Amino acid sequence: MIVGTADVEVLAKQAATIESFTEDAIQLDDVLCMQVTAEMRNQAREAVLPPSLHPTVPAALSLQVWCVGGSPWGAFDMAVTRVACRSGVRARGFTTAVVASSAVVCRGLRGIFGFPARIGEVSLRHGYDGVSAWVVDGGEPILRINAIDPEPMSNDDVQYTSTVNLAHTPQGLRLVQLECDHAITRVERLRASIESFVGKAWGNALLDPYRVVSASVTRSTAVYPPIRFVCKADELAFTGTERVGVSR
């Protein structure tokens, strides 16, 4: 099986730090989430993932832009890029970068979930005719997506895979396995185009979402249960997985 070949030490430079794992679930209310899935070329297949993870064939990138109405840190916006992968036999998305709208939110995302979050401007506009999103980082536009022709779908028709974040944890540098339960109340599927995307700003210049597969927007309540498992970044999940609080 193919596995990631990225240098873990290089990846670790951007990694967040989780001082201690929280035992409480975190709830995000009134979440509007646009997800765009796009295929990438093989140059980004193994090269962007740590050796613990297996890329999908073809390589694929999930771009999510969230507008959150309520959270422990108040309302906020964020954009997340995740590379589709497998951890052991589980479908996952490996986070390469997160841009969020305030310093307080970034601290929360980094310290609780291990997201590699930084501050930027994030905008998500949802209308009856479509959805558009853009992200600006340091005055430079790094993402622009337009999606049109919304088509209502059933709440079960969209699939969110769980996330893995590389973070410094009490158990060392680990891939943090982050589940998220979405209680979805509305789903639309759209036709999207990625009008601009700066790979370097999203964690790796090799990221190349050249072919949009699908786009959806959902309204939900998102609940992150407490983190239960982490995995060594340079060891396959079959042997490298550890229960939180129990390192091997």
159 binds another protein (CB under 8 A): yes
Whether the bond between 58 and the residue before it is cis, its omega within 30 degrees of 0, is yes
Shortest separation between residue 189's beta carbon and another protein, angstroms: 5
Torsion 197-202-207-213 (CA) sign:
negative
CA 73 to centroid of chain Cα atoms: 19
Binding residues for another protein, rule CB under 8 A, total 27
Q: Is residue 117 close enough to count as binding another protein by CB under 8 A?
A: no
Would you count residue 213 as binding another protein (CB under 8 A)? yes
Q: Is 162 in the site for another protein (CB under 8 A)?
A: no
Options 25-33, 137-145, 157-165, 223-231: segment touching another protein (CB under 8 A): 157-165
Q: Is residue 41 a contact point for another protein (CB under 8 A)?
A: no
Based on the shown chain and the rule CB under 8 A, indicate whether residue 216 belongs to the binding site for another protein: yes
Among 98, 36, 102, 93, residue whose Cα is nearest residue 71: 102
- Closest distance to another protein from the beta carbon of 210 (Å): 13
Cβ count within 10 A of residue 79:
28
Residue among 96, 65, 80 at smallest CA distance from 175: 96
What six digits make up the tokens of 155? 């709440």
- Number of alpha helices (DSSP H) and beta strands (DSSP E) in the chain: 3, 16
Interaction pattern, residues 2-31, with another protein; x per rule: CB under 8 A:
x-----------------------------
How much of the chain is helix, strand and coil, in % rounded to 5? 10, 55, 35
Which of 30, 47, 58, 107 is in the footprint of another protein by CB under 8 A? 58
The two three-digit tokens of residue 17, written as one number? 């730090």
CB of 84 to another protein, least distance (A): 7
- Which of 102, 162, 214, 221 forms a contact with another protein (CB under 8 A)? 214
Minimum distance, C-beta of residue 156 to another protein, in the bound complex (Å): 7
Please report whether residue 155 would count as binding another protein according to CB under 8 A.
Answer: no
DSSP 122-176: EEEEEETTEEEEEEEETTEEEEEEEEEEEEEE-GGG----EEEEEEEETTEEEEE
Q: How far is the CB of 86 from another protein (least distance, A)?
A: 5
Distance CA 55, CA 42 (A): 10
Per CB under 8 A, the segment of 135-143, 153-161, 166-174, 200-208 that binds another protein is 153-161
Residues binding another protein (CB under 8 A):
1-2, 37, 39, 54, 56-58, 60, 84, 86, 88-91, 153-154, 156-159, 161, 187, 189, 213-214, 216
